[in-house]
Amino acid sequence: MKLKMLLATTVAGVMAAGSVLAGTLDDVRARGKLNCIINTGLAGFAAPDDKGKWQGFDVDFCKAVAAAVLGDAEKVSYTTATGKTRFTKLAAGEGEILSRNTTWTFSRDVDLAQTFIGVNYYDGQGFMVPKKLGVKSAKELDGASVCIQTGTTTELNLAEFFAGNGMKYNPVPIETNAEAQELYKAGRCDVYTTDASGLYATKMSFDNPDAHMVLPEIVSKEPLGPVVRHGDDQWADIVSWVLRAMMAGEEKGITSKNVKKLAGQDNKDKEINRLLGKDPLQGLSKLGLSPDWAVNVISQVGNYAESFERNLYPLTIVRGMNALYRDGGLHYIPPIK
C-alpha cells in the first residue's frame, strides 16, 4: 500500500515535471514572479546599482514583461548566467526569459530548440586597445594577444576576421567580462574584443576611459535579443509583443510621463487607442493579457527610447542602427491592429 502510494506520487511528480513547458504564463502568474536570466554584470545592460538592485537595458526588458504579465515591474527575480551557462539555464527552466545580450544565430535558434523573439539591440563585434599602443585599425593587429570572453559567437568571428586578413593572433579565453577586464588592464592582452556595446560599457568602468579606444572596424553582425524556450507559442508572443509595445511607444510618442493621460482620452491615432486598451485589440485575450498591459509597460518601465537613454547614453553609446526606421535605424515593428 505504502509502496503504491510512493509509486503513485513519484509518477505524478514526474508527470508534473513534464508539464513545465506548456502554460509558462500560468506558472509565472501562480508564482507571482517572473524569473529572468541576465548577465553576471555588464554596465548599462545588467549591473547592480549602489543599492544592490539590478539596473540596465536588459533588466528593463525583464521588468517590462513583468509589468505586462503581472502588472508590477518589480516582480522579477533575477538569475545571472555566464555566456556558457545561459542556454543550459534557460533549457532547464531556471528562467522564463533569457535577456542577456544574446546573439541571434541560425544554430542557436534551430539546433538548441530556442525561440528568439526579436532584436532589441543591433550590435557588432569590435576591438578595444589602449591608446598608447598606437593602433588605428583592427587590420594592424597582426601578432597581437587578444582577450576574448568565451561562450559567445565572438571566438568564431575573431578566428574568421584574422584568417580572412591573413593575420595571426594569440587568443586568451576568459570566462566573464570582469575577469577579462582585469587581464586586459594588467596587460596580459593587447586587445579586448567583444560586442561593441560591451566594449563601451567596459571602457566606461575604467579609471581612465580616455586612455583606451574602440577601433572603427565592426567585424560581425550581432543582433541581440531576448530568448525563450521552444514550445510555448503563447509565451513567445507575449514576450515579443512587449518588446514591440516599447518600440511602438517611441514611434507614437507615448512616454512614461504621458501614457496615463493618453490612455484616458480618445486619440486621433487609433493605433494608440488599441495599444493602450481604449479600443479593443482583437486577440488580446488569447495572449491572456489584460487591456492595460501596454500602459503598465510604458508607465512603469518607459518606451524603448527612454530605456535606451537611461541606460546606454551614460556609456556614450549613440542610437545608430538602434534608432527607429524613420530616424535611419533598423527598428521597424509590425502595426498594432
Partner 1 sequence: MIKQTTSSFLASTNQIWRNEKSREIVIQVIVLIALGWLLTWLVGNVSGNFERLGKDLSYEFLGIPAGYDINQYLIPYNNRDTHLRAAIVGLLNTGLVAICGIIIATIFGLFLGVLRLSKNWLASKIAYWYVEFTRNVPILLHILLWHGIIINTLPHPRKAIDIGEMAFLTNRGFYLPKPITEAGIELIYLFTTIGIIFSILFYKYANKLQENTGKQLPVFWVNVSVLIILPIIAFFASGMPVSLSIPELKGFNFRGGVQLSPELIALTFALAIYTAAFIAEIVRAGILAIDKGQREAAESIGLKSNKVMKLIILPQARRVIIPPLTSQYLNLTKNSSLAIAIGYMDLVATLGGISLNQTGREMETMVLVLLIYLSISLSISSLMNWYNHKVKLVDR
Q: Is 232 in the site for partner 1 (CB under 8 A)?
A: no
Smallest distance, partner 1 to C-beta of residue 16, A: 13
Return the number of the residue (111 or 210) whose C-beta is nearest partner 1: 111
Q: Which of residues 40, 150, 234, 255 is near partner 1 by CB under 8 A? A: 150
Smallest distance, partner 1 to C-beta of residue 45, A: 19
Residue 286 CA neighbour count, 13 Å, CB half = 9
Q: Is 169 in the site for partner 1 (CB under 8 A)?
A: yes
Q: Which of residues 141, 219, 239, 317 is near partner 1 by CB under 8 A? A: 141
Smallest distance, partner 1 to C-beta of residue 107, A: 7
Return the number of the residue (29 or 84) whose C-beta is nearest partner 1: 84
Choose the stretch contacting partner 1; rule: CB under 8 A; options: 226-234, 239-247, 254-262, 304-312. Answer: 226-234
Q: Is 112 in the site for partner 1 (CB under 8 A)?
A: yes
Rg (CA), the chain: 22
Choose the stretch contacting partner 1; rule: CB under 8 A; options: 30-38, 43-51, 141-149, 260-268. Answer: 141-149
Q: Number of residues in contact with partner 1, rule: CB under 8 A? A: 45
Nearest to 57 by CA among 149, 119, 148, 126: 119
Q: Is 144 in the site for partner 1 (CB under 8 A)?
A: yes
Choose the stretch contacting partner 1; rule: CB under 8 A; options: 54-62, 154-162, 263-271, 300-308. Answer: 154-162
Q: Is 170 in the site for partner 1 (CB under 8 A)?
A: yes
Q: Is 267 in the site for partner 1 (CB under 8 A)?
A: no
Provide the binding-site residues for partner 1, judged by CB under 8 A: 14, 17-18, 21, 83-84, 87-88, 91, 107-108, 111-113, 133, 141-145, 150-152, 155-156, 158-160, 162-163, 169-175, 183, 186-188, 190, 229-231
